[in-house]
Amino acid sequence: MVNWNNLDTLKSFGELESIKHVNLAEIMSGENGAKRVKEYSVPMAAGLSYNYAAKEVDDDIIAKLDALAKETQLIDKFEALYNGEVINTGEKRMVLHQLTRGQLGNKVEADGVDKREFYLKEQKRIADFANKVHSGEIANAKGEKFTTVVQIGIGGSDLGPRAMYLALENWAYRTGNFKMAAKFISNVDPDDASCVLNSIDVAHSIFILVSKSGTTLETLTNESFVTDALKKAGLDPSKHMIAVTSETSPLAKSDNYLEAFFMDDYIGGRYSSTSGVGGAVLSLAFGPDVFAQFLDGAAEEDKLSANADLKKNPAMLDALIGVYERNVLGYGSTAVLPYSQGLSRFPAHLQQLDMESNGKSVNRFGEPINYVTGPIIFGEPGTNGQHSFYQLLHQGTDIIPLQFIGFKNSQLQNDVDIQGSSSQQKLCANVAAQIVAFACGKKDDNLNKNFKGGRPSSIIVGDELNPKSLGALLAHFENKVMFQGFVWNINSFDQEGVQLGKVLAKRVLAHETEGALTEYAKLLNI
């Protein structure tokens, strides 16, 4: 039996608040710093590891975080979730995205079916479809192969799949797994769809319409752009388009699509990269086997997240350190800094995943809470960020915890040696240097050149960004966000905060406004 309590009512949180802080610059100096780097490391799936040596924690604080994990019953709550309890209390839904990549617990039944089997069946259907597209069995009206896949979706139907595609594109080139280029249309700004359509050969393109409800206005609008373009090119849109949607949506049985693949209400948009929402585009772009490896990486990481031993559970540890930074140390944001060009849009995906899940002010019972919840998430790839906003990270007046990600090898494995080192070595040297510079700083009598240090970071390190390590990375952050939601006693799986804007936008379009809204509409010429 799990108990749901507000963070500020917990004994272990009170203890955490009163425990002595560490001086990061001090503990990361000298041999003690070296010892921490060796010891404060937790293996993840797919050869990754989570290293938290440069976080503002020591063994005493970790012990208190462990007590907090136990008092908040994080492992029991995760177990309840993967066994099909109604964890999304606001919408009265189960939360089953982990089932798309493995079965951690009991059989979960809903809508009269075994949900694991349901997700597997859809994966299989997508794989068959993708294989037929690749072989040319499914082709355009002239019998020519499709060469491009275009995903039409917004939010969770866009950011995750797009970030995952970009993360694997170069790897797929090098390893011979590149089947089709993928493009994405998301914004209701007509320039988005127009621009993508201008850049492709529609006659050889297959489009994936992704909307769980089948009613997302942006997505339906962009579908029209595409069907218009196909018709103008003398093509039959229904032969160029598939849908990923729920079985009950208006898209499910429409003749407008070559095929419809299904997800359900138990998978939130921002958690849907391992469902058909990511599965269709990734299977078409790189083949079903690559998508299966991605799922394997996520499944392995999920297993680690079920481990009650905090020091063997990187997602839970990461989550708790984040809570300590947010609720005890008072830091309001986290920068995600991947030293990997392939992860260029991974911070944007995490921004949605984290901020939409945990940007809440009421607990899971709809009662007000008296502590801060989800932080701001932002980031850009290194070394680009170093030449941009790192100035503020190093010498600004606020402390911003940092999440580095780095890989020993590049994806394309094409490199040059300049001044005695390869680009990949320079990249890795920079991330190592930054961690130490942020943690330890450097004294200078000229205060303008002085670095106080004391700026905490962790790093996830791997050999290479590939389907399996990407899956592990994704699952790590999904589970981290889930654990933080449990600690904050909030519902991380609804998003009521997006509703009011939708309602008011409809009113503007119907000219049913008053006051300020009428004036803003005029200003924008609506």
Q: Which segment (249-257, 288-296, 297-305, 515-523) binds a second copy by CB under 8 A?
A: 515-523
CA angle 68, 72, 77 (to 5 degrees): 135
Q: Is 444 exposed, middle or buried (0-12, 13-18, 19+ CB in 10 A)?
A: exposed
**Cis geometry, peptide bond prior to residue 274 (ω within 30 degrees of 0):** no
Among 5, 23, 135, 425, binds a second copy (CB under 8 A): 425
Q: Does 86 interact with a second copy (rule: CB under 8 A)?
A: no
Distance from first CA to last CA of the chain, Å, rounded?
Answer: 54
Q: Which segment (73-81, 144-152, 291-299, 435-443) binds a second copy by CB under 8 A?
A: 435-443
H helices within 399-466, ranges in order?
423-440
Q: Which of residues 315-354 bind a second copy (CB under 8 A)?
A: 332-333, 339-342, 348, 351-352
User: Which one of 218, 223, 301, 356 is the catalytic residue?
Assistant: 356
Is 205 within 8 Å of 149 (Cβ atoms)? yes
Q: Does 273 interact with a second copy (rule: CB under 8 A)?
A: no
User: Which one of 31, 387, 511, 514 is the catalytic residue?
Assistant: 387
Q: Does 441 interact with a second copy (rule: CB under 8 A)?
A: yes
Q: Does 274 interact with a second copy (rule: CB under 8 A)?
A: no
Q: Which of residues 91-150 bind a second copy (CB under 8 A)?
A: none
Q: How does strand 402-407 pair with strand 49-51? A: unpaired
Q: Which segment (6-14, 73-81, 204-212, 449-457) binds a second copy by CB under 8 A?
A: 449-457
Closest CA to 348 of 306, 387, 378: 378
425: CB partners within 8 A, 6+ apart: none
183 in active site: no
- Nearest approach in angstroms of CB 381 to a second copy is 6
Tokens of 427: 């990249």
- Nearest approach in angstroms of CB 126 to a second copy is 23
Cα Rg of the chain (Å, integer)? 24
Tokens of 26: 């001090």
Tokens of 185: 């249309």
Q: Does 435 interact with a second copy (rule: CB under 8 A)?
A: yes
Segment holding 282, helix H or strand E: helix 276-286
Q: Does 225 interact with a second copy (rule: CB under 8 A)?
A: yes
Cα pseudo-dihedral 210, 474, 271, 380, rounded to 10: -70
- Nearest approach in angstroms of CB 170 to a second copy is 5
DSSP at 326: I
Distance between CA atoms of residues 259 and 125, nearest Å:
10
Q: Which of residues 34-63 bind a second copy (CB under 8 A)?
A: 34, 36-38, 41, 49, 51, 53-54
Comparing CB distances to a second copy, the nearer of 1 and 418 is: 418
Q: Does 464 interact with a second copy (rule: CB under 8 A)?
A: no
Distance between CA atoms of residues 181 and 147, nearest Å:
7
Give residue 361's identity as a one-letter amino acid code.
S
Q: Which segment (55-63, 114-122, 305-313, 382-390) binds a second copy by CB under 8 A?
A: 382-390
Comparing CB distances to a second copy, the nearer of 123 and 484 is: 484
497: CB partners within 8 A, 6+ apart: 359, 360
Segment holding 17, helix H or strand E: helix 11-18
Tokens of 322: 């984040």
Among 102, 161, 322, 381, binds a second copy (CB under 8 A): 381
Q: Which of residues 280-299 bind a second copy (CB under 8 A)?
A: none
Q: Does 505 interact with a second copy (rule: CB under 8 A)?
A: yes
Among 176, 198, 234, 255, binds a second copy (CB under 8 A): 198
Count of residues near a second copy by CB under 8 A: 160
DSSP at 510: T
Q: Does 26 interact with a second copy (rule: CB under 8 A)?
A: no
Q: Does 397 interact with a second copy (rule: CB under 8 A)?
A: yes
Comparing CB distances to a second copy, the nearer of 299 and 440 is: 440
Could you list the beta-strand ranges (E) of 6-47.
Answer: 41-43
Q: How does strand 113-114 pair with strand 109-110? A: antiparallel
Q: Does 378 interact with a second copy (rule: CB under 8 A)?
A: yes
Q: Does 256 interact with a second copy (rule: CB under 8 A)?
A: no
Q: Which segment (65-73, 98-106, 271-279, 431-439) binds a second copy by CB under 8 A?
A: 431-439
User: Which one of 442, 502, 506, 522 is the catalytic residue?
Assistant: 502
Distance between CA atoms of residues 129 and 147, nearest Å:
15
231 in active site: no
Q: Does 272 interact with a second copy (rule: CB under 8 A)?
A: no
Segment holding 205, helix H or strand E: strand 205-210
- Nearest approach in angstroms of CB 490 to a second copy is 10
DSSP at 325: I
Q: Does 496 interact with a second copy (rule: CB under 8 A)?
A: yes
Q: Does 239 interact with a second copy (rule: CB under 8 A)?
A: no
Closest CA to 152 of 126, 186, 127: 186
Q: Does 501 interact with a second copy (rule: CB under 8 A)?
A: yes
Q: Does 252 interact with a second copy (rule: CB under 8 A)?
A: no
Comparing CB distances to a second copy, the nearer of 75 and 150 is: 150
356 in active site: yes
> Hey, which residues are catalytic here?
356, 387, 502
